[in-house]
Amino acid sequence: MYSVEWQKRGLPHAHILVWFIDKIRPEEIDSIISAEIPDPSTDQLLFDIVTTNMIHGPCGTLNSSSPCMADGKCTKNFPKDFTNDTVTNVDGYPIYRRRNPENGGQSFIKNIINTDIDIDNRWVVPYSPLLSKTYNAHINVEFCSSVKSIKYICKYVHKGSDMAVFRVENTNVNAPPVNKNDEITLYQIGRYISSNEAAWRIFGFPIHERDPAVVQLAIHLENGQRVFFTNETAIDRAINPPKTSLHF
Protein backbone atom coordinates (compact mmCIF):
# COMPACT_ATOMS: atom_id res chain seq x y z
CA MET A 1 0.00 0.00 0.00
CA TYR A 2 1.41 3.38 -0.91
CA SER A 3 0.44 7.03 -1.26
CA VAL A 4 2.28 9.91 -2.90
CA GLU A 5 2.39 13.33 -1.27
CA TRP A 6 4.24 16.59 -1.79
CA GLN A 7 6.35 18.66 0.53
CA LYS A 8 6.00 22.43 0.77
CA ARG A 9 8.66 22.95 -1.92
CA GLY A 10 6.73 20.67 -4.27
CA LEU A 11 9.03 17.66 -3.99
CA PRO A 12 7.05 14.39 -4.23
CA HIS A 13 7.72 11.45 -1.95
CA ALA A 14 5.90 8.21 -1.21
CA HIS A 15 4.89 6.40 1.96
CA ILE A 16 4.90 2.66 1.29
CA LEU A 17 3.65 -0.09 3.62
CA VAL A 18 4.59 -3.68 2.77
CA TRP A 19 3.23 -6.83 4.45
CA PHE A 20 5.36 -9.98 4.31
CA ILE A 21 3.88 -13.46 4.18
CA ASP A 22 6.79 -14.89 6.15
CA LYS A 23 7.60 -13.16 9.41
CA ILE A 24 10.98 -11.49 9.84
CA ARG A 25 12.78 -12.97 12.82
CA PRO A 26 14.64 -10.57 15.14
CA GLU A 27 18.02 -12.01 14.18
CA GLU A 28 17.27 -11.23 10.51
CA ILE A 29 16.65 -7.49 10.96
CA ASP A 30 20.32 -6.48 10.75
CA SER A 31 20.64 -8.14 7.34
CA ILE A 32 17.65 -6.17 5.98
CA ILE A 33 17.73 -2.80 7.77
CA SER A 34 20.80 -0.94 8.96
CA ALA A 35 21.29 2.18 11.04
CA GLU A 36 25.06 2.27 10.73
CA ILE A 37 27.61 3.92 8.46
CA PRO A 38 29.00 1.31 6.03
CA ASP A 39 32.68 0.45 6.00
CA PRO A 40 34.18 2.33 3.01
CA SER A 41 36.94 -0.26 2.67
CA THR A 42 34.37 -2.97 1.83
CA ASP A 43 31.56 -0.98 0.14
CA GLN A 44 32.59 2.50 -0.98
CA LEU A 45 29.42 2.96 -3.07
CA LEU A 46 27.06 2.32 -0.16
CA PHE A 47 29.23 4.49 2.10
CA ASP A 48 28.90 7.42 -0.32
CA ILE A 49 25.13 6.96 -0.65
CA VAL A 50 24.50 6.69 3.09
CA THR A 51 26.73 9.61 4.06
CA THR A 52 25.06 11.77 1.39
CA ASN A 53 21.39 10.80 1.82
CA MET A 54 20.83 9.04 5.15
CA ILE A 55 22.41 11.33 7.73
CA HIS A 56 20.08 13.34 9.95
CA GLY A 57 21.15 16.89 10.70
CA PRO A 58 23.20 17.07 12.70
CA CYS A 59 21.05 19.18 14.97
CA GLY A 60 20.89 20.13 18.63
CA THR A 61 23.91 21.91 20.02
CA LEU A 62 25.78 21.22 16.77
CA ASN A 63 23.22 23.10 14.67
CA SER A 64 20.44 24.86 16.55
CA SER A 65 18.98 26.25 13.29
CA SER A 66 18.16 22.78 11.91
CA PRO A 67 14.51 22.60 10.69
CA CYS A 68 13.84 19.59 12.97
CA MET A 69 14.42 21.66 16.11
CA ALA A 70 11.48 22.69 18.31
CA ASP A 71 11.79 24.12 21.82
CA GLY A 72 15.48 23.33 21.82
CA LYS A 73 14.97 19.62 21.07
CA CYS A 74 15.04 17.48 17.94
CA THR A 75 11.52 16.40 16.95
CA LYS A 76 12.98 13.18 15.47
CA ASN A 77 14.78 12.30 18.72
CA PHE A 78 18.29 12.52 17.29
CA PRO A 79 21.01 11.74 18.17
CA LYS A 80 20.12 8.15 19.04
CA ASP A 81 21.91 6.11 21.69
CA PHE A 82 24.69 3.67 20.92
CA THR A 83 23.71 0.00 21.17
CA ASN A 84 25.62 -3.15 20.26
CA ASP A 85 22.58 -5.25 19.29
CA THR A 86 19.17 -4.70 17.73
CA VAL A 87 16.39 -4.86 20.32
CA THR A 88 12.75 -5.60 19.36
CA ASN A 89 9.38 -5.19 21.11
CA VAL A 90 9.96 -1.53 22.03
CA ASP A 91 6.97 0.72 21.20
CA GLY A 92 6.28 -1.26 18.03
CA TYR A 93 9.64 -0.49 16.40
CA PRO A 94 13.06 -2.02 16.99
CA ILE A 95 16.00 -0.18 18.49
CA TYR A 96 18.51 -0.72 15.70
CA ARG A 97 22.14 -1.60 16.26
CA ARG A 98 24.32 1.50 16.42
CA ARG A 99 27.87 0.62 17.45
CA ASN A 100 30.21 3.34 18.65
CA PRO A 101 33.56 3.88 16.88
CA GLU A 102 35.41 2.15 19.73
CA ASN A 103 33.32 -0.99 19.18
CA GLY A 104 33.52 -1.38 15.39
CA GLY A 105 31.31 1.51 14.29
CA GLN A 106 32.28 3.87 11.47
CA SER A 107 32.43 7.66 11.43
CA PHE A 108 33.25 10.44 8.98
CA ILE A 109 33.78 14.19 8.92
CA LYS A 110 30.96 16.44 7.65
CA ASN A 111 31.23 20.18 7.16
CA ILE A 112 28.33 22.07 8.77
CA ILE A 113 28.33 25.87 8.65
CA ASN A 114 32.06 25.94 7.89
CA THR A 115 32.76 23.61 10.80
CA ASP A 116 34.04 20.02 10.52
CA ILE A 117 31.86 17.70 12.65
CA ASP A 118 32.57 14.05 13.42
CA ILE A 119 29.44 12.09 12.43
CA ASP A 120 28.92 8.61 13.90
CA ASN A 121 26.12 6.01 13.89
CA ARG A 122 23.93 8.05 16.24
CA TRP A 123 22.92 10.26 13.30
CA VAL A 124 22.07 7.56 10.74
CA VAL A 125 18.46 7.25 9.52
CA PRO A 126 17.52 3.52 9.22
CA TYR A 127 17.83 2.32 5.64
CA SER A 128 17.85 -0.78 3.46
CA PRO A 129 21.26 -1.33 1.81
CA LEU A 130 19.53 -2.98 -1.16
CA LEU A 131 17.09 -0.11 -1.79
CA SER A 132 19.71 2.56 -1.16
CA LYS A 133 22.11 1.08 -3.70
CA THR A 134 19.26 0.53 -6.17
CA TYR A 135 17.82 4.07 -6.14
CA ASN A 136 20.65 6.19 -4.70
CA ALA A 137 18.21 8.36 -2.78
CA HIS A 138 16.88 9.04 0.70
CA ILE A 139 14.76 5.98 1.58
CA ASN A 140 13.90 5.57 5.25
CA VAL A 141 13.02 1.92 5.98
CA GLU A 142 11.51 0.79 9.29
CA PHE A 143 10.42 -2.61 10.59
CA CYS A 144 7.05 -2.68 12.35
CA SER A 145 7.43 -5.32 15.04
CA SER A 146 4.10 -4.86 16.81
CA VAL A 147 0.49 -4.96 15.67
CA LYS A 148 -0.12 -1.93 17.90
CA SER A 149 1.63 0.25 15.31
CA ILE A 150 -0.46 -0.84 12.31
CA LYS A 151 -3.31 1.59 13.02
CA TYR A 152 -0.93 4.55 13.26
CA ILE A 153 0.94 3.54 10.10
CA CYS A 154 -2.23 3.15 8.04
CA LYS A 155 -3.51 6.54 9.24
CA TYR A 156 -0.14 8.15 8.47
CA VAL A 157 -0.03 6.74 4.95
CA HIS A 158 -3.52 8.15 4.26
CA LYS A 159 -3.24 11.39 6.25
CA GLY A 160 -4.26 13.47 3.25
CA SER A 161 -3.11 16.80 1.86
CA ASP A 162 -1.60 19.67 3.81
CA MET A 163 -4.13 22.20 4.97
CA ALA A 164 -4.04 25.98 5.25
CA VAL A 165 -7.30 26.75 7.05
CA PHE A 166 -8.47 30.37 6.98
CA ARG A 167 -11.66 32.39 6.66
CA VAL A 168 -12.54 35.92 5.50
CA GLU A 169 -15.75 37.27 7.00
CA ASN A 170 -17.80 40.37 6.34
CA THR A 171 -18.24 42.34 9.55
CA ASN A 172 -21.20 44.23 8.08
CA VAL A 173 -24.25 43.43 10.18
CA ASN A 174 -26.43 43.53 7.05
CA ALA A 175 -24.35 40.87 5.27
CA PRO A 176 -25.99 37.49 4.65
CA PRO A 177 -25.21 34.81 7.26
CA VAL A 178 -22.29 32.44 6.61
CA ASN A 179 -22.76 28.71 7.02
CA LYS A 180 -19.77 27.86 9.23
CA ASN A 181 -20.60 24.15 9.08
CA ASP A 182 -20.13 23.81 5.32
CA GLU A 183 -17.36 21.18 5.51
CA ILE A 184 -17.13 20.76 1.73
CA THR A 185 -16.45 24.46 1.16
CA LEU A 186 -13.96 24.61 4.03
CA TYR A 187 -12.10 21.63 2.58
CA GLN A 188 -11.95 23.11 -0.91
CA ILE A 189 -10.71 26.54 0.13
CA GLY A 190 -8.20 25.21 2.65
CA ARG A 191 -6.53 22.45 0.68
CA TYR A 192 -2.87 23.14 -0.15
CA ILE A 193 -1.85 21.93 -3.64
CA SER A 194 1.49 22.88 -5.17
CA SER A 195 2.00 23.32 -8.91
CA ASN A 196 3.88 20.00 -9.05
CA GLU A 197 0.98 18.12 -7.45
CA ALA A 198 -1.50 19.86 -9.75
CA ALA A 199 0.50 18.73 -12.82
CA TRP A 200 0.73 15.21 -11.39
CA ARG A 201 -3.04 15.02 -11.04
CA ILE A 202 -3.74 16.63 -14.44
CA PHE A 203 -1.63 13.96 -16.17
CA GLY A 204 -3.44 11.26 -14.22
CA PHE A 205 -0.41 9.78 -12.49
CA PRO A 206 -1.24 7.39 -9.61
CA ILE A 207 -1.67 8.96 -6.17
CA HIS A 208 -2.24 5.84 -4.09
CA GLU A 209 -2.69 2.12 -4.55
CA ARG A 210 -3.29 -1.02 -2.53
CA ASP A 211 -2.81 -4.58 -3.69
CA PRO A 212 -4.94 -6.54 -3.06
CA ALA A 213 -7.57 -3.81 -2.96
CA VAL A 214 -9.82 -5.76 -0.57
CA VAL A 215 -8.69 -8.13 2.17
CA GLN A 216 -11.23 -10.55 3.64
CA LEU A 217 -11.04 -10.80 7.41
CA ALA A 218 -12.32 -13.90 9.18
CA ILE A 219 -14.64 -12.30 11.77
CA HIS A 220 -16.35 -14.88 13.97
CA LEU A 221 -19.48 -13.98 15.89
CA GLU A 222 -20.26 -15.60 19.21
CA ASN A 223 -21.72 -19.10 18.67
CA GLY A 224 -21.59 -18.43 14.94
CA GLN A 225 -18.67 -20.61 13.83
CA ARG A 226 -18.19 -24.31 13.41
CA VAL A 227 -15.55 -26.26 15.28
CA PHE A 228 -14.76 -29.83 14.31
CA PHE A 229 -13.33 -32.08 17.00
CA THR A 230 -13.33 -35.63 18.27
CA ASN A 231 -13.11 -37.05 21.76
CA GLU A 232 -9.35 -37.29 21.31
CA THR A 233 -8.87 -33.71 20.01
CA ALA A 234 -11.48 -31.80 22.05
CA ILE A 235 -9.07 -30.60 24.75
CA ASP A 236 -6.40 -29.62 22.22
CA ARG A 237 -8.91 -27.68 20.10
CA ALA A 238 -10.13 -25.79 23.17
CA ILE A 239 -6.62 -24.85 24.27
CA ASN A 240 -5.20 -24.20 20.79
CA PRO A 241 -7.99 -22.83 18.57
CA PRO A 242 -7.26 -22.44 14.84
CA LYS A 243 -5.62 -19.14 13.89
CA THR A 244 -7.55 -16.64 11.78
CA SER A 245 -6.66 -13.36 10.08
CA LEU A 246 -7.69 -11.52 13.26
CA HIS A 247 -5.56 -13.70 15.55
CA PHE A 248 -2.20 -12.22 16.62
pTM: 0.72
- Phi then psi dihedrals of residue 133, to 5 deg: -75, -25
The pLDDT value given to residue 220: 66
The pLDDT value given to residue 49: 97
Most confident of 4-13, 75-84, 146-155: 75-84
The pLDDT value given to residue 147: 67
Residue 244 pLDDT level (bands cut at 50, 70, 90) = low
The pLDDT value given to residue 248: 44
Q: Tens digits of per-residue pLDDT, 7-58?
A: 777 788 888 888 888 888 888 999 999 999 999 999 999 999 999 999 998 8
Distance, in Å, from the CA atom of 198 to the CA atom of 182, rounded to the nearest integer, reads 24
The pLDDT value given to residue 28: 93
Residue 63 has pLDDT above 90, yes or no: no
Q: What's the CA angle centered on 118, arms 110 and 34, to 5 degrees?
A: 85
Residues 65-72 have a mean pLDDT of: 88
Q: Greater confidence, 136 or 187?
A: 136
Q: How confident is the prediction for the chain on average, in pLDDT?
A: 83
The pLDDT value given to residue 100: 95
Q: Tens digits of per-residue pLDDT, 152-183?
A: 777 777 776 666 666 666 667 676 666 666 77
Residues 92-120 have a mean pLDDT of: 90
